A = this chain, B = another copy of it.
C-alpha cells in the first residue's frame, strides 16, 4: 500500500508509491499501431489490459463505448486502510488511502480532447462532475483532484487522450493556501477575488483569449508560465461538481476553443490542466470560485523556481493573449 509521509518543516505531504515506478512509459503517437505489437491499454479492443470500468458511456446504438472510467492500474492511492496517522521516529505518516481513476476520453488513440465534438467534450465534463459526486459520498474523502497531463513534457506516461481523478484523505496544502488567500481578499475587499478578476479583465480586454455566455478564458496577470490560461465561470460558484447542466455546453465550447488556440499557436504543446475547486465536504463559499488552470510546459522549471516559489515568465500575459488571438504559429 502506498504511504503518505509528512515533511516536518513545511507540513507538506508526499505520497511514496513504489509500485507506481513499475508503470509503463510507452509514449506512442497517433500514427502508431495500437492493436499490433504495441497494445495501447486505452484503445478499443484492449479493454482487458485495464482494470474493469467503474463507469462508461456506450456508442449510440452499438455495443462499443465512447468514454470509460477505470481504476488506475498503478495508483498513487488505494481504497481501504484504517486512515490513522502514526509516528515514525520524529516523523509522521499514514496509509495512502483514497482512489485514483483514469477517464479515457474517447476510444481513438490519436483524437485529442479539443478535436472531439462539443457534445463528446460535454460528456467528459459531465463525467468529471458525476464521479466527484459519487466519490465524495465517502466522508473520508476530503478533496477530489481532477487533472489532465497532455504530452511527455507535462508528465503524461501514455499518449491516448485521458484525464485523472484522485480522491485524497486530506486537503492539499496548495488548495488550502489558495482558499486562504481568497479568504483574505474577501475579508479586505468584501468581494470574491475571482469575480473581481472577471470584472477587471472584461474592462481591460487585452488578456482575454475566449468568451461565451457562461465562461471567460484569460491569461492571468501574474502568469507563472508563458501562455498559462485560466477558464472562469462568470457566475460565482465554489464547487465544480455543483455546476448546473445549463453551463456544461458553454464550458465544453470554451475548452475546445482555448485548447485549439493553444495548439495552433504552439506546435508540440504539452500542458497540465487542473480543476481548482473547494474541498468536497465543505459548504458553498462566497470567497472561493472554482476554475480551470491550463499550464503549458514550454521550458523546464529550474532551481530558482523550486527554491523560491517565485516564477520567471518570459512572455507577458498581454503578449501571450495577442499571440493566441492572431492565429499565427510561434516557436518558443
The B-contacting residues of A in range 77-94, CB under 8 angstroms, are 88-91
Q: A6 near B: Cβ within 8 Å?
A: yes
CA distance in complex: A156, B182 (Å): 35
Chain A interface, number of residues (Cβ within 8 angstroms): 84
Partner of A316, one of B18, B143, B200: B18
Interface residues of chain A: helix, strand, loop or mixed (majority): mixed
Contact partners of A274 in chain B: CB under 8 A = 303, 306-307
Considering residues A7, A293, A304, which has the most beta carbons from chain B within 10 angstroms of its beta carbon? A304
Interface residue A264 (Cβ < 8 Å from any Cβ of B): no
**In the assembled complex, A249 has its CB within 8 A of some CB on chain B:** no
- In the complex, A299→B27 CA distance in Å? 14
Q: Which of A105-113, A121-129, A170-178, A240-248 contacts B (4 or more CB under 8 A)?
A: A170-178
Our pick among B166, B182, B299, B303 for the contact of A273 (Cβ within 8 Å) is B303
In the complex, the answer to whether B303 meets A149 with C-beta atoms within 8 Å is yes
Q: Is the CB of A7 within 8 A of B222?
A: yes
List, in ascending order, chain B residues with CB within 8 A of A204's CB.
89
Contacts of A1-57 to chain B: CB distance below 8 A: 3, 5-18, 20-21
- Known contacts A172-B307, A174-B308; 11 further A-B pairs (Cβ under 8 A): A14-B223, A14-B310, A15-B311, A17-B314, A20-B314, A89-B200, A145-B304, A153-B300, A173-B309, A274-B306, A275-B307
